[in-house]
Protein backbone atom coordinates (compact mmCIF):
# COMPACT_ATOMS: atom_id res chain seq x y z
CA UNK A 1 0.00 0.00 0.00
CA UNK A 2 1.32 3.41 -1.00
CA UNK A 3 1.07 6.09 1.68
CA UNK A 4 1.27 3.90 4.76
CA UNK A 5 3.35 5.09 7.72
CA UNK A 6 5.58 2.50 9.37
CA UNK A 7 7.61 2.92 12.56
CA UNK A 8 9.97 -0.05 12.83
CA UNK A 9 11.39 -0.46 16.33
CA UNK A 10 13.88 -2.71 18.07
CA UNK A 11 11.15 -5.05 19.29
CA UNK A 12 10.09 -5.76 15.70
CA UNK A 13 13.67 -6.65 14.80
CA UNK A 14 13.94 -8.79 17.93
CA UNK A 15 10.93 -10.85 16.91
CA UNK A 16 12.17 -11.07 13.33
CA UNK A 17 15.57 -12.40 14.41
CA UNK A 18 13.92 -15.14 16.47
CA UNK A 19 11.59 -16.11 13.61
CA UNK A 20 14.56 -16.38 11.22
CA UNK A 21 16.41 -18.56 13.73
CA UNK A 22 13.32 -20.78 14.07
CA UNK A 23 12.57 -21.10 10.33
CA UNK A 24 15.88 -20.73 8.52
CA UNK A 25 16.53 -24.45 8.16
CA UNK A 26 12.97 -25.14 6.94
CA UNK A 27 13.17 -22.30 4.43
CA UNK A 28 16.47 -23.51 3.02
CA UNK A 29 15.21 -27.09 2.74
CA UNK A 30 11.95 -26.12 1.05
CA UNK A 31 11.84 -27.07 -2.62
CA UNK A 32 9.28 -24.36 -3.32
CA UNK A 33 8.93 -20.76 -2.23
CA UNK A 34 8.21 -20.57 1.48
CA UNK A 35 5.12 -18.67 2.62
CA UNK A 36 4.68 -17.04 6.02
CA UNK A 37 1.74 -15.09 7.45
CA UNK A 38 1.95 -12.40 10.11
CA UNK A 39 -1.44 -11.69 11.65
CA UNK A 40 -2.79 -9.78 14.63
CA UNK A 41 -5.03 -6.95 15.68
CA UNK A 42 -4.90 -3.34 14.56
CA UNK A 43 -1.72 -1.61 15.68
CA UNK A 44 -0.02 -4.81 16.83
CA UNK A 45 2.93 -4.28 14.49
CA UNK A 46 2.15 -6.66 11.63
CA UNK A 47 3.52 -4.46 8.84
CA UNK A 48 6.56 -3.42 10.85
CA UNK A 49 7.39 -6.99 11.85
CA UNK A 50 6.95 -8.18 8.27
CA UNK A 51 9.39 -5.56 7.01
CA UNK A 52 11.84 -6.35 9.80
CA UNK A 53 11.59 -10.04 8.89
CA UNK A 54 12.21 -9.24 5.23
CA UNK A 55 15.37 -7.36 6.19
CA UNK A 56 16.63 -10.16 8.45
CA UNK A 57 15.99 -12.78 5.76
CA UNK A 58 17.76 -10.62 3.20
CA UNK A 59 20.74 -10.52 5.59
CA UNK A 60 20.81 -14.32 5.25
CA UNK A 61 20.79 -14.06 1.45
CA UNK A 62 17.13 -15.10 1.24
CA UNK A 63 15.19 -12.89 -1.13
CA UNK A 64 11.78 -12.00 0.29
CA UNK A 65 8.67 -10.11 -0.77
CA UNK A 66 5.64 -8.94 1.23
CA UNK A 67 1.97 -9.13 0.27
CA UNK A 68 -0.10 -6.72 2.35
CA UNK A 69 -3.67 -7.65 3.13
CA UNK A 70 -4.51 -3.92 3.01
CA UNK A 71 -4.07 -4.05 -0.77
CA UNK A 72 -6.75 -6.74 -1.04
CA UNK A 73 -9.67 -4.86 0.51
CA UNK A 74 -12.73 -4.69 -1.73
CA UNK A 75 -12.99 -0.92 -1.25
CA UNK A 76 -10.15 1.60 -0.80
CA UNK A 77 -9.64 2.92 2.76
CA UNK A 78 -11.89 5.99 2.90
CA UNK A 79 -14.66 4.32 0.93
CA UNK A 80 -14.42 1.27 3.16
CA UNK A 81 -14.72 3.50 6.23
CA UNK A 82 -17.87 5.12 4.84
CA UNK A 83 -19.28 1.67 4.11
CA UNK A 84 -18.62 0.64 7.70
CA UNK A 85 -20.34 3.80 8.96
CA UNK A 86 -23.45 2.98 6.98
CA UNK A 87 -23.45 -0.71 7.96
CA UNK A 88 -21.35 -1.97 10.86
CA UNK A 89 -22.08 -5.54 9.78
CA UNK A 90 -19.67 -4.92 6.90
CA UNK A 91 -16.74 -5.14 9.33
CA UNK A 92 -15.00 -8.48 9.09
CA UNK A 93 -13.36 -10.94 6.74
CA UNK A 94 -15.90 -10.18 3.99
CA UNK A 95 -14.20 -6.80 3.51
CA UNK A 96 -11.15 -8.48 2.03
CA UNK A 97 -10.50 -10.50 -1.13
CA UNK A 98 -8.87 -13.26 0.90
CA UNK A 99 -9.38 -15.85 -1.85
CA UNK A 100 -7.41 -13.65 -4.26
CA UNK A 101 -4.59 -13.23 -1.76
CA UNK A 102 -4.59 -16.97 -1.13
CA UNK A 103 -4.45 -17.64 -4.88
CA UNK A 104 -1.40 -15.39 -5.17
CA UNK A 105 0.32 -17.36 -2.41
CA UNK A 106 -0.45 -20.57 -4.29
CA UNK A 107 0.99 -19.10 -7.49
CA UNK A 108 4.12 -18.16 -5.56
CA UNK A 109 4.48 -21.70 -4.21
CA UNK A 110 4.04 -23.11 -7.72
CA UNK A 111 6.92 -20.99 -9.00
CA UNK A 112 5.10 -18.27 -10.94
CA UNK A 113 7.57 -15.43 -11.53
CA UNK A 114 5.15 -12.51 -11.50
CA UNK A 115 1.64 -11.76 -10.30
CA UNK A 116 -0.81 -8.99 -11.04
CA UNK A 117 -2.11 -7.74 -7.71
CA UNK A 118 -4.13 -4.83 -6.35
CA UNK A 119 -2.29 -1.82 -4.94
CA UNK A 120 -3.95 0.69 -2.62
CA UNK A 121 -2.96 4.33 -2.96
CA UNK A 122 -4.04 5.54 0.45
CA UNK A 123 -4.11 9.32 -0.03
CA UNK A 124 -6.11 9.04 -3.26
CA UNK A 125 -8.55 6.47 -1.84
CA UNK A 126 -7.80 4.40 -4.92
CA UNK A 127 -7.11 0.76 -5.71
CA UNK A 128 -4.80 0.38 -8.69
CA UNK A 129 -2.97 -2.68 -10.04
CA UNK A 130 0.70 -3.59 -10.13
CA UNK A 131 2.83 -6.36 -11.57
CA UNK A 132 4.91 -7.81 -8.75
CA UNK A 133 8.00 -9.77 -9.70
CA UNK A 134 8.66 -12.94 -7.73
CA UNK A 135 11.77 -13.83 -9.70
CA UNK A 136 14.52 -15.14 -7.40
CA UNK A 137 12.26 -14.72 -4.37
CA UNK A 138 12.47 -17.57 -1.85
CA UNK A 139 10.02 -16.29 0.79
CA UNK A 140 6.64 -14.59 0.49
CA UNK A 141 5.23 -12.93 3.62
CA UNK A 142 1.49 -12.27 3.78
CA UNK A 143 0.77 -9.74 6.51
CA UNK A 144 -2.62 -8.59 7.69
CA UNK A 145 -5.39 -8.97 10.18
CA UNK A 146 -6.95 -12.15 8.81
CA UNK A 147 -3.98 -13.83 7.12
CA UNK A 148 -3.95 -16.76 9.56
CA UNK A 149 -7.11 -17.97 7.79
CA UNK A 150 -5.31 -18.41 4.46
CA UNK A 151 -4.64 -21.95 3.24
CA UNK A 152 -1.44 -21.68 1.22
CA UNK A 153 0.98 -21.10 4.09
CA UNK A 154 3.94 -22.99 5.45
CA UNK A 155 4.04 -21.04 8.73
CA UNK A 156 1.42 -18.92 10.47
CA UNK A 157 2.62 -16.21 12.86
CA UNK A 158 0.36 -14.32 15.26
CA UNK A 159 1.15 -11.20 17.30
CA UNK A 160 -0.51 -11.66 20.69
CA UNK A 161 -1.57 -8.08 21.45
CA UNK A 162 -5.16 -6.89 21.74
CA UNK A 163 -6.53 -3.57 20.47
CA UNK A 164 -6.50 -2.30 24.08
CA UNK A 165 -2.76 -2.89 24.27
CA UNK A 166 -2.01 -1.31 20.88
CA UNK A 167 -3.61 2.10 21.38
CA UNK A 168 -0.25 3.89 21.71
CA UNK A 169 1.09 2.45 18.45
CA UNK A 170 -2.18 3.23 16.67
CA UNK A 171 -1.88 6.84 17.81
CA UNK A 172 1.71 6.96 16.51
CA UNK A 173 0.65 5.59 13.15
CA UNK A 174 -2.30 8.03 12.93
CA UNK A 175 -4.06 6.21 10.10
CA UNK A 176 -7.56 6.50 11.60
CA UNK A 177 -9.40 8.78 13.96
CA UNK A 178 -9.40 7.13 17.40
CA UNK A 179 -13.08 7.60 18.22
CA UNK A 180 -15.97 5.57 19.64
CA UNK A 181 -16.84 4.16 16.22
CA UNK A 182 -13.33 2.81 15.73
CA UNK A 183 -13.58 1.22 19.17
CA UNK A 184 -16.68 -0.66 18.01
CA UNK A 185 -14.84 -1.80 14.87
CA UNK A 186 -11.87 -3.00 16.90
CA UNK A 187 -14.12 -4.99 19.23
CA UNK A 188 -15.66 -6.80 16.25
CA UNK A 189 -12.24 -7.49 14.75
CA UNK A 190 -10.97 -8.72 18.13
CA UNK A 191 -13.78 -11.26 18.38
CA UNK A 192 -12.82 -12.64 14.97
CA UNK A 193 -9.04 -12.50 15.23
CA UNK A 194 -8.60 -13.80 18.77
CA UNK A 195 -9.76 -17.24 17.63
CA UNK A 196 -7.04 -17.32 14.97
CA UNK A 197 -4.30 -17.51 17.60
CA UNK A 198 -5.11 -21.20 18.11
CA UNK A 199 -4.25 -21.92 14.46
CA UNK A 200 -0.84 -20.25 14.56
CA UNK A 201 2.55 -21.96 14.51
CA UNK A 202 4.48 -19.09 16.06
CA UNK A 203 3.16 -16.68 18.68
CA UNK A 204 4.84 -13.31 19.06
CA UNK A 205 4.35 -12.47 22.72
CA UNK A 206 3.61 -8.95 24.02
CA UNK A 207 7.35 -8.47 24.74
CA UNK A 208 8.11 -9.60 21.17
CA UNK A 209 9.77 -12.83 22.16
CA UNK A 210 8.35 -15.82 20.29
CA UNK A 211 6.76 -19.09 21.31
CA UNK A 212 6.60 -21.99 18.87
CA UNK A 213 3.52 -24.20 18.79
CA UNK A 214 3.39 -27.77 17.57
pLDDT of residue 143: 98
pLDDT of residue 123: 87
* Domains in the chain with CATH codes: 10-212 (3.40.50.300)
pLDDT of residue 152: 98
At residue 154, φ and ψ (nearest 5 deg) are: -90, -40
> Is the pLDDT confidence value at 5 over 80?
no
Q: pLDDT digits over 29-67, tens only? A: 999 999 999 999 988 999 999 999 999 999 999 999 999
pLDDT of residue 163: 84
Q: pLDDT digits over 153-175, tens only? A: 999 999 999 888 876 665 656 55
pLDDT of residue 169: 65
Angle between helices 10-29 and 46-59 (to 10 degrees): 50
Q: pLDDT digits over 58-100, tens only? A: 999 999 999 999 999 999 999 999 999 999 999 999 999 999 9
The arithmetic mean of pLDDT across residues 5-22, rounded, is: 93
pLDDT of residue 177: 62
Distance CA 128, CA 120 (A): 6
Q: pLDDT digits over 170-204, tens only? A: 565 655 566 789 889 999 999 999 889 999 999 99
Amino acid sequence: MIGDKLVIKENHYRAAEQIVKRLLSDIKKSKSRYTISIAGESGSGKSETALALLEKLDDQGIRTVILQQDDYFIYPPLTNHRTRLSNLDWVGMQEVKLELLDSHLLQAIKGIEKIEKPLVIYQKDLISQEILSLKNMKVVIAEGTYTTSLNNLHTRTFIDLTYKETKKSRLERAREEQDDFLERVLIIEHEIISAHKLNSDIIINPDFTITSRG
